[in-house]
Amino acid sequence: MNTLPEPARVLRPAAAMTIGELDPSARAGVLVDLRVFAACAVHGACVATFVQGAAIDPDLVAEQFTAARGAVPIDALKVARLGGERATRSAAEWLGAACAPSAAPVAGWAPPRPRVVLDASMLDAHGEPRVSDSVVAAWKTHVAPLAEVIVVNAVEAERLFGRPVESRRGMLEATKRLFDLGAPFVLVTGGRLEGHPVDLLYDGTGTIEVGMDRVPGARLPHTGGVLTAALTAWMARGLTVQAALDAARPRVNAALEGALDHVPLGRSVEPLRALWARDRSDVEVVSVAAPREP
């Protein structure tokens, strides 16, 4: 009597996708996120919504998402800058379909339901708003309820609700207002406030404070993007939200500490020096503007 062979167990790496702006210099946006994913041993995929400040047509963005998700089983999504009101509503549609319960598995396998980390991404590197009120409203109504974790900084929380967030008390109030949008977890980061940087994680029942010493002298744009990318990567690997945050937070400080001894590139510093390979080959920079010897 012939018997069927035992099904083979195939292991695959955890996979995460980042959705947001593509900066050709690779100092911000989805290209940085991919490097963070790699540093956390997670396969990375990406969908570009902007290229160097220019918005991509929402239909093309949706096609990118469909193609990438069809090729790679995505365990977690980082959703950042989406675009205007139409783009935000469109993204809510295909994200909602991706996060819906899967149909019956085929041959014992079904694509995973990705865990969603929503990075508000409503400010530029200088803290200036880059979305309209209509986009804020669409984001709150259609996108926020899809997230497992919503991440905002204190300035973005003020932009969302029109109330100043200048203290721990203001941050706590902001977490509760964000929680009412429908996500099970809310993280409000306090790095933009004065004093000891403390982040607040809220789950509807209580608040957990996550703080680390401020790195003296470090000024690193897009630090929040590094944090949310690392958080997404560790969630893709199956960690709980709190455990993923505990693993992600030191990555940010490592990037800040590594930035201190790095020659600035243009107007900002290399955001992930500390995550480079150990056998990296640095290149000495010689200033062409150095004064000549007399």
Structural domain for 139, as ranges: 15-99+111-260
How many structural domains are present in the chain? 1
Cα 87 to Cα 50, 94, 95, 115, 199: the distances in Å are 11, 11, 12, 21, 30
- The dihedral over CA atoms of 111, 178, 256, 124, expressed in degrees to the nearest 10, equals 100
pLDDT for the residue 294 = 46
- Is 271 inside a domain boundary? no
- Tell me, what's the pLDDT at 234? 93
- pLDDT tens digits, 91-133: 999 999 988 876 555 555 566 789 999 998 776 655 566 778 8
Instruction: Enter the pTM of the model.
Output: 0.81
**Domain-embedded: residue 280:** no
pLDDT score, position 281: 46
Q: How many CB atoms lie within 10 A of CB 56?
A: 17
Measured between alpha carbons, how far is 55 from 63 in angstroms, rounded to an integer? 15
Which residues touch 271 (CB under 8 Å, ≥6 apart)?
A: 27, 28, 32, 220, 221, 222, 223, 226, 255, 259
* Domain-located, residue 248: yes
**Residue 265 forms part of a structural domain:** no
Q: Give pLDDT < 50 ranges for the chain.
A: 262-269, 271, 274, 276-294
Alpha helix stretches (DSSP H) within the chain: 30-39, 58-71, 85-99, 133-138, 154-161, 168-179, 223-236, 241-259
Sheet holding 43-51, edge to edge: 54-55, 43-51, 15-22, 76-79, 115-119, 149-153, 185-189, 198-202, 207-211
Q: Note the pLDDT of residue 108.
A: 54
Cα–Cα distance for residue pair 288/277, rounded to 1 Å: 28
Query: In this structure, are strands 76-79 and 15-22 parallel, antiparallel, or unpaired?
Result: parallel
Specify if 123 maps to a domain: yes
Any domain includes 30: yes
Q: Is residue 196 included in any domain, yes or no?
A: yes
Check which CATH number belongs to the domain holding 148 and give it. 3.40.1190.20
Domain assignment present for 3: no
CA–CA gap between residue 225 and residue 131 (Å, rounded): 17
pLDDT of residue 290: 44
